[in-house]
């Protein structure tokens, strides 16, 4: 059962005990399924890009980064997909979570091993949305690590995460079947599927946004993205898409998106609303601006720039033109993401 708690009690207990870290396993999962009430600040946050569309072993370091350097027998994998592994430190206690899983199981598991990341330490798994390039590797990762993952560990999803999805590609007359995530593949690995609509803390200091409110006039979604509802294909508005965010003590929010079908500006604003702050330290992940018209890219970058983040890391589906535009318009904040990059933010 879930235990309701008011804002004052939640914050007091979270700060005093490392945000429910001391709770027993069953109570821990139930408590964290509660909507977020304010946010617990993290003392230190480390986010690894487990995989992304691009890898460059010779790419120079940037602010906040440590790049993976490949060598003989240690080749790193890049793909059309994205996956993140994050560690928070709150009150001296370290917790880990994963967010999205990429599309090539062998490649992603190779990367996890090369980065020295332990899936057995993950206390919560999250999924941004039900597209193949974000969930396909999940079943294999969970199955391989099943003996080391606590039974009942939550796997957080939004609405329609298990729906069948399609894409009408440029020039095509029929939609391409993109498949669907199978709930049983997650549950067979011993995890508990938890559907979220409201913001929720998944490990101490790590939050899913809940349903993302559409606020901007220009982030209208993609007409070519479709979902099967009953016997009909309809435009997919991604009502259940989730962003992941953290509040670094004294520095501001770090917002991580999978694809931002809801709009990267809307995603950041949702995190700000939940956290009760407009202070933005970093925004990273997919911005879904691939093939976007120049005015959409310009509006997006203009609003992100106005938020004054220290670090901007467009990745995955952001698109070549948008990535170049971020670099041009925000040269001091822009970081080119590469698979295997480790980002560290500290109070």
% of the chain surpassing 70 pLDDT: 89
Which pLDDT band, with edges at 50, 70 and 90, does 169 fall under? confident
- pTM, rounded to two decimals: 0.89
pLDDT at 172: 86
Burial of 223 (0-12, 13-18, 19+ CB in 10 A): exposed
pLDDT confidence tier of residue 253, bands split at 50, 70 and 90: very high
Query: Does 35 score more than 90 pLDDT?
Result: no
Query: pLDDT tens, 9-33?
Result: 333 333 333 333 333 333 333 333 4
The structural domains of the chain, ordered by start, are 42-346 (3.60.15.10)
Q: What is the Cα–Cα distance from 307 to 282, expressed in whole angstroms? A: 10
pLDDT band at 170 (very low <50, low <70, confident <90, very high): confident
Report d(CA 267, CA 273) in Å as an integer.
Answer: 10
pLDDT in tens, 58-103: 999 999 999 999 999 999 999 999 999 999 999 999 999 999 999 9
Model confidence at 34: pLDDT above 60: no
H helix and E strand count, the chain: 9, 19
pLDDT tens digit sequence for 180-209: 999 999 999 999 999 999 999 999 999 999
Decide if 154 contacts 192 (C-beta within 8 A): yes
Per-residue burial over 293-331, b if 16 or more Cβ lie within 10 Å, else e, is eeebbebbbebbeebebbbbbbbbbbbeebbebbeebbe
Q: What is the pLDDT of residue 20?
A: 32
Integer Cα distance of 69 and 71 in angstroms: 7
In DSSP notation, 94-125 reads: EEEEEEEE-S-HHHHHHHHHHHT--GGGEEEE
What does the H/E/C string look like for 235-302? Answer: ECCCCCCCCEEEEECCCEEEEEECCCCCCHHHHHHHHHHHHCCCCEEEEEEECCCCCCCHHHHHHHHH
Give yes or no for a contact between 154 and 187, defined as CB atoms under 8 angstroms apart.
no
More confident residue, 22 or 153: 153
In which band, very low, low, confident or very high, does the pLDDT at 171 lie, cut at 50, 70 and 90? Answer: confident
Instruction: Write out pLDDT tens, residues 268-326.
Output: 999 999 999 999 999 999 999 999 999 999 999 999 999 999 999 999 999 999 999 99
Digit-coded pLDDT (tens) for 121-152 = 999 999 999 999 999 999 999 999 999 999 99
């Amino acid at each position: 059962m879930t235990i309701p708690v008011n804002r004052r009690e939640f914050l007091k207990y979270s700060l005093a005990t490392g945000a429910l870290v001391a709770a027993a396993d069953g109570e821990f999962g139930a408590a964290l399924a509660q909507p977020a009430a304010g946010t617990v600040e993290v003392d230190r946050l480390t986010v690894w890009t487990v995989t992304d569309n691009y890898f460059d072993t010779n790419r120079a370091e940037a602010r906040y980064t440590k790049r993976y350097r490949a060598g003989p027998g240690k080749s790193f994998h890049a793909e059309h997909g994205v996956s993140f592994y994050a560690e928070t430190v709150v009150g001296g206690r370290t917790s880990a979570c994963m967010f999205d899983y990429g599309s090539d199981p062998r490649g992603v598991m190779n990367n996890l091993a090369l980065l020295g990341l332990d899936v057995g330490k993950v206390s919560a798994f999250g999924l941004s949305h039900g597209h193949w390039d974000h969930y396909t590797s999940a079943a294999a990762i969970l199955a391989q690590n099943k003996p080391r993952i606590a039974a009942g560990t939550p796997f957080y999803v939004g609405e329609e995460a298990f729906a069948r999805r399609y894409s009408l590609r440029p020039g095509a007359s029929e939609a391409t079947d993109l498949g669907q995530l199978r709930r049983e593949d997650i549950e067979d690995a011993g995890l508990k599927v938890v559907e979220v609509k409201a913001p929720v803390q998944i490990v101490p200091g790590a939050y899913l946004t809940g349903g993302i409110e559409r606020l901007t006039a220009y982030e209208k979604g993609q007409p070519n993205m479709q979902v099967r509802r009953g016997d009909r294909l309809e435009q997919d508005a991604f009502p259940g898409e989730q962003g992941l965010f953290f509040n670094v003590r004294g520095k501001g929010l770090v917002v991580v998106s999978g694809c931002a079908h809801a709009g990267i500006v809307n995603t950041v604003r949702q995190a700000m609303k939940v956290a009760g702050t407009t202070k933005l330290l970093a925004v990273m992940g997919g911005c879904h601006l691939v093939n976007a018209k120049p005015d959409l890219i310009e509006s997006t970058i203009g609003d992100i720039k106005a938020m004054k983040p220290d670090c901007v890391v467009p990745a995955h589906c952001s698109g070549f033109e948008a990535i170049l535009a971020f670099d041009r318009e925000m040269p001091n904040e822009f970081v080119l993401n590469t698979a295997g990059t480790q980002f560290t933010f500290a109070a």
